[in-house]
Structure 1
Amino acid sequence: MKKKMVFIMNPISGTASKAAIPDLIEKTLNKDLFDYELRMTQYAGHATVIATEAKDAGADVVVAVGGDGTVNEVARAIVHSQTALGIIPCGSGNGLARHLLLPMSAKKSIQVLNKCEIHDFDYGIINGHPFFCTCGMGFDAFVSQKFAQAGKRGPITYAENILREGLNYQPETYEIEDETGTHRHKAFLISCANASQYGNNAYIAPQASMSDGLMDIIIMEPFDILEAPQISIEMFNKTLDKNSKIKTFHCKELRIHRRSEGLIHYDGDPVMTGADITVTLREQGIKMVINPDADRSERQPNVLQTAAAELFNDLNEMRRVFNRRSHRIQILGKVLQRKLNI
């Protein structure tokens, strides 16, 4: 008996045209295994409505064709059901798809769907909002809002917002309670990660697993301008957890109190919420189609990684020039001191 697959496509997500995708689905999907339907979203939240209808009608797989926002809308509708989530990544960051090592090519993603290997994964909830990749507060929520307000999207826009706003952002003090007790931290950001990255191969939680029953909590302490490039490079090199400014731990439930209401984000979508924040993990709560042929050693550099490396090199050169000049000034000072003593 054929499986039923419903594709839900967001025509405006990401930076590239999706005009060719319907034809790719028709030509690439294995019709001997699947009957399919393609639906287009018409407004924010419409993907959730369509996915709920598909689940209730007994769909075996609902495929989000879009970015992390579309993925979130589809996934939240099918948690704790027998309907699995598939992804054709077409967004700006594609964080969940990249964590799952799905191909960024639409055709190859459809070929993965043909194999239809399904695993159970965890997901999280922050103040009532389900998330499947990451959620958080502080600077990343602030940048998510700026990114959402931007007229254009993509990694360059994201990088521009980070560079423009990062130096002026003021860290907050948070009271954090988990299973071990209550702690206070002054933090640039706090991220709760079910998956490993924000998107664009920027790894906020390099060791995160979606099937270990735990969230990775990342507290990024305040840092200065000279430390920023190193932190950026470590994020792209999957070594951020080794940085002295990063504190990490694991938990199933987290309660956070801050001085006043403010922004949070869930899978990159910003929303205002109160001073009290609760984050919980739901174990094995969603089924997803995975890539059975994924090679975890493969990862391509991207625009942000290259830009961060160039900025780091520029600042290192500035530091070397400054040190050389400081050394020369010290020598001249000693010579002048000797002459004055004479």
Structure 2
Amino acid sequence: MKKKAVFVINLISGTSDKAAIPGLIDMYLDKEKFEYEIAITQYAGHASEIAAKAKDDGVDVVVAVGGDGTVNEVARAIVHSDTVLGIIPCGSGNGLARHLLLPLNVRKAIDVINRCEVRQLDYGIINDYPFFCTCGMGFDAFVSMKFAEAGKRGPITYVENVLREGLKYKPETYTIEDESGTLQYKAFLISCANASQYGNNAYIAPQASMSDGLMDVIIMEPFDVFEAPQISIEMFSKTLDKNSKIKTFRTRHLHIHRDEPGVIHYDGDPVMTGADIDIELKPKGINIIVNTMADRSERQPNALQNAAAELFNEINEIREGIAQSRRKFQQWSKAIQKRLNI
């Protein structure tokens, strides 16, 4: 018997034109396995409505065609059901798709749908908002808000906001409670990761798994301008967890208190919330089509990341040059003081 599939297409997500996607689906979807229909979203939240109706109608697979926001809308409507999530990544970051090593090429992504290999995976909830990739507060939530306000998408917009706002952002103090006790941190950001990255291969939690029943909690302590390039390099090279400014642990439930209400994000979507934040992981709560034949080339950084890495390396060289000049100045200063018997 053929499976029923609904492709939910968000035409305005990401930076690329999606007008050709319905034709590609018709051309490359295996018609012997699937009968399908296409639904185009018309407004925020529409993808959730389409997915919820599909679930109620007994549709086997709902495919989110868009970015992490579209994926989130579709996924939250079908959790704890037999309906399966498929993804054709067409967003600006594609964090969940990249974690799952799904192809960014539409035809190859349809091939993954055709194979329809399904796994039960985890998801999380932050103050009643489901997330499937990451959630958090502090600087990354602040940047998510700026990104949403920018009116245009793409990694360049994200990098612009990070560089412009990063040095001005003031860390907050958080009280964090989990099963092991309560601790207080002054933090630049706190991220809770079900998957390993924000998107664009920026790995906030390189060791995170969507099938271990736990979320990775990342606390980034305040750092200075000279430390920022190294942190950025480590995020793209999947070594951030080795940095001394990073504290990590795993848990299933977390309560966080901050001094006042503020912004949080779930899968990159910002929302204002109160001073108290509850985050919980839901083990094996959603069925997702995965790529068991992942090509390692899908893991390679894109041109923007390569350029950023080169820039950060140059900044590091400048930083080392400044440090050497500072050491020489200190040596000269001591020598002069010794000669003058100061």
TM tier relative to shorter chain = over 0.9
Instruction: Name 2:141's counterpart in structure 1.
Output: 141
8 Å Cα contact 2:102-2:298 kept in structure 1: no
> CA contact under 8 A between 1:66 and 1:89: conserved in structure 2?
yes
Structure 1 residue 329: Cα displacement: 4.6
Q: Deviations over 1:255-292 (max 9, x none)?
A: 00000000000000000000000001111100000112
TM-fit CA distance, 1:322: 2.7
Q: 1:320 to 1:10 in 2, by over 3 A?
A: same
Task: Confirm or deny: 8 A CA contact 1:175 1:185 kept in the other structure.
Answer: yes
Given that 1:55 and 1:78 are in contact with CA atoms closer than 8 Å, whether structure 2 keeps it comes out as yes
In 1, are the aligned partners of 2:234 and 2:240 still within 8 Å (CA)? yes
- Aligned match of 2:54: 54
Which residue does 2:184 correspond to in 1? 184
Tell which deviates more after alignment, 181-190 or 330-339.
330-339
Do 2:103 and 2:298's aligned partners in 1 also have CA atoms closer than 8 Å?
Answer: no
In the TM superposition, residue 324 of structure 1 has moved relative to its aligned partner by: 5.0
Matches within 5 A, 1:3-82: 3-82=3-82
Please, which moves more after superposition, 317-326 or 10-19? 317-326
Q: For 1:167-202, what per-residue CA distance to the aligned partner results, in whole angstroms no more than 9, with x for missing partners?
A: 000000000000001110110000011000000000
Relative distance call for 1:144 and 1:338 in structure 2 (3 A) is closer
User: Is the 1:159–1:304 contact (alpha carbons within 8 Å) kept by the matching residues of 2?
Assistant: no
Deviation at 1:152, TM superposition (A): 1.5
TM-score, normalisation: structure 2: 0.95
Give distance in 2, aligned partners of 1:141 and 1:28. Answer: 38
Distance 1:335 1:262 in 2: 52
1:228 is aligned to 2:228:
yes
Q: Structure 1 vs Structure 2: percent identity of aligned residues?
A: 72
Q: Summarize deviations over 1:192-231 as a string: whole Å, max 9, x none.
A: 1100000000000000000100010000000011111111
Q: What is the aligned-residue RMSD (CA, Å)?
A: 1.7
* Structure 2 residue aligned with 1:267: 267
1:295 positional shift = 4.1
Deviation at 1:305, TM superposition (A): 2.4
* Cα pair 1:88 1:110 within 8 Å, conserved: yes
| Uncovered stretches (5+) of structure 2, i.e. residues with no partner | none
1:282 corresponds in structure 2 to 282
1:151 CA drift (Å): 2.2
Distance in 1, matches of 2:327 and 2:219, equals 37
Q: Is the partner of 1:18 in helix, strand or coil?
A: coil
Matches within 5 A, 1:84-99: 84-99=84-99
The CA deviation at 1:298 is 5.0
Is the CA contact 1:122–1:285 (under 8 Å) kept in the aligned structure 2?
A: yes
> Is the contact between residue 202 and residue 235 of structure 1 (CA under 8 Å) also seen in structure 2?
yes
Partner secondary structure for residue 322 of structure 1: helix
Q: CA deviation at 1:302?
A: 2.2
Contact 2:229-2:316 at 8 Å conserved across structures: no
Distance 1:135 1:330 in 2: 45
Q: d(CA) in 2 for partners of 1:336 and 1:192?
A: 52
Conserved? CA contact 1:134–1:191, under 8 Å: yes
Q: Shift of residue 336 of structure 1?
A: 6.1
- Matching residue's letter, 2:219: I
1:43/1:212 Cα in 2 relative to 1: closer, same or farther (>3 Å)? same
Rounded to whole Å, the distance in 1 between the matches of 2:102 and 2:236 is 18
| Superposition pairs of residues 102-251 of structure 1, within 5 angstroms | 102-251=102-251
Match of 1:292 in 2: 292
Distance in 1 between residues matched to 2:186 and 2:337, nearest whole Å: 45
SS state at 2:308 partner: helix
Match of 2:52, SS? helix
Distance 1:263 1:304, change over 3 A: farther
Structure 1: gaps (5+ residues)? none
